[in-house]
Amino acid sequence: MKNTPNEWSLLDKIKFRVHRDNPNIVVPLGDDAFVFKNYPGYSVICQDMLVEGIHFNLDYFSPEDLGWKALAVNLSDIAAMGARPHYIHVSLAIPEKLTNSWLDDFYLSMSGLADQYECQIVGGDLCSSKSGVIIDVSIHGSCEKPLTRQGTQPGDLLLSSGPLGLSQTGLIALSQNFPEYEVAKKKHRRPVPRLDLQSLLQQKNKYIHGLIDTSDGLINDSLRLCQEKFGFHVFIENLPIHQDTNKLAFQLGTTPEDYALWGGEDFELLMTVHPDHYEEFSDWHLVGQVTTEPGVFLNDSIRKTEITEFRGWQHFNDFSK
């Protein structure tokens, strides 16, 4: 037979690249749908799309970066539920100019990241795109007790698992083609989902009131944890700011705190806990406190300033969130 659909050989290469043996799989990649045995506890699903020109620019995103990041932003949602990831679907629309080696690099990087968290790519789509690259990833995971955005109480402390504003620092350095800022650039191109915290989170889940990942900046993500019911104060002198952010702010004549307050895509975890339980999370950064009265205030040692103009981090319009 000749002229059987010629995309099959390309798809076979991708299948080879992403295949992993797994005793929980009932019907593997290659059928109408993927079938697996249920994991203990509850099932967890999330899905996130990345669009060229909106979320990333191929001028400074290699195929390896993109494969990594498209998966990492979804793994971060799994981490923000205190869950474990298992199975990944990837839909990819690409312009014809992109080569098979671009695709191979993309899937190699993505499956390498998946391997780090013992999950695997089990299906998806590959389409032509008449314009840019579009990637949509969904993940199926499981958890014993989901850690949600609900449950925050007035008086709770706001804790961050890591530096804030570093990804935006990297984005600016990349888009303006600045040399150096390697840590920030890596944070932007290859964020590391905080799945390393999963066992700690489940072990201490009784202390955690609310949990979210920082995709839209500290202010916007804290607003979500407060569910429009409460206000909060940010301890501006206590913000975890990386030296790359300080350096870039100095170079551009801006204030580094702005990056931490409004910069998105750090993919750290942000939680609310009662002050009595702060010691359980002493490695986390104390960045603010929830208040009964509405309003968002920036507090330093000498004054308290209310924020009245809110800036949206436009990268994500996720309606599931």
What residues from 132 to 161 belong to the interface with a second copy (CB under 8 A)?
132, 134, 136, 138-141, 143, 146, 148-150
3 state SS of 199: helix
The nearest distance, CB 58 to a second copy, in angstroms, is 13
Task: Give the interface segment with a second copy, choosing from 22-30, 164-172, 196-204, 237-245 (CB under 8 A).
Answer: 22-30
For residue 140 the two structure tokens come to 């199926």
Q: Which is nearer to a second copy, 99 or 276 (CB)?
A: 99
- What CA dihedral angle connects 256, 152, 224 and 210, to 10 degrees? 80
Which among 272, 254, 148, 163 has a CA at the least distance from the CA of 217? 163
| R_g (Cα) of the chain, nearest Å | 21
Task: Give the interface segment with a second copy, choosing from 37-45, 162-170, 195-203, 247-255 (CB under 8 A).
Answer: 37-45
The nearest distance, CB 229 to a second copy, in angstroms, is 13
Binding mask 66-105 for a second copy (x = CB under 8 A): -----------xx-xx-x---x-x-xxx------------
Bridge partners (DSSP) listed for residue 42: 143
- d(CA 264, CA 285) in angstroms, rounded, equals 17
Q: Quick one: which of 9, 27, 116, 283 contacts a second copy (CB under 8 A)?
A: 27
The nearest distance, CB 251 to a second copy, in angstroms, is 28
CB 198 within 8 A of CB 211: no
Q: Judged by CB under 8 A, how many residues of this single chain contact a second copy? A: 89
Where in 252-271 is the site for a second copy (CB under 8 A)?
A: none
Where in 214-233 is the site for a second copy (CB under 8 A)?
A: 216, 220, 223
Phi, psi of 12 (to 5 degrees): -60, -40
Bridge partners (DSSP) listed for residue 299: 235, 304
Which among 21, 97, 1 has a CA at the least distance from the CA of 58? 97
- d(CA 295, CA 152) in angstroms, rounded, equals 15
For residues 116-141, b (16+ Cβ closer than 10 Å) or e, as one string? ebebbbbbbeeeeeeeebbbbbbbbb
Q: Is 197 in the site for a second copy (CB under 8 A)?
A: no
The nearest distance, CB 150 to a second copy, in angstroms, is 8
Q: Which is nearer to a second copy, 43 or 99 (CB)?
A: 43
Q: Is 114 in the site for a second copy (CB under 8 A)?
A: no
Task: Give the interface segment with a second copy, choosing from 34-42, 57-65, 110-118, 166-174 (CB under 8 A).
Answer: 34-42
The nearest distance, CB 283 to a second copy, in angstroms, is 21
CB 270 within 8 A of CB 221: yes
- d(CA 77, CA 239) in angstroms, rounded, equals 23
Where in 301-320 is the site for a second copy (CB under 8 A)?
A: 308-313, 316-320
Task: Give the interface segment with a second copy, choosing from 117-125, 155-163, 252-260, 276-284 (CB under 8 A).
Answer: 117-125
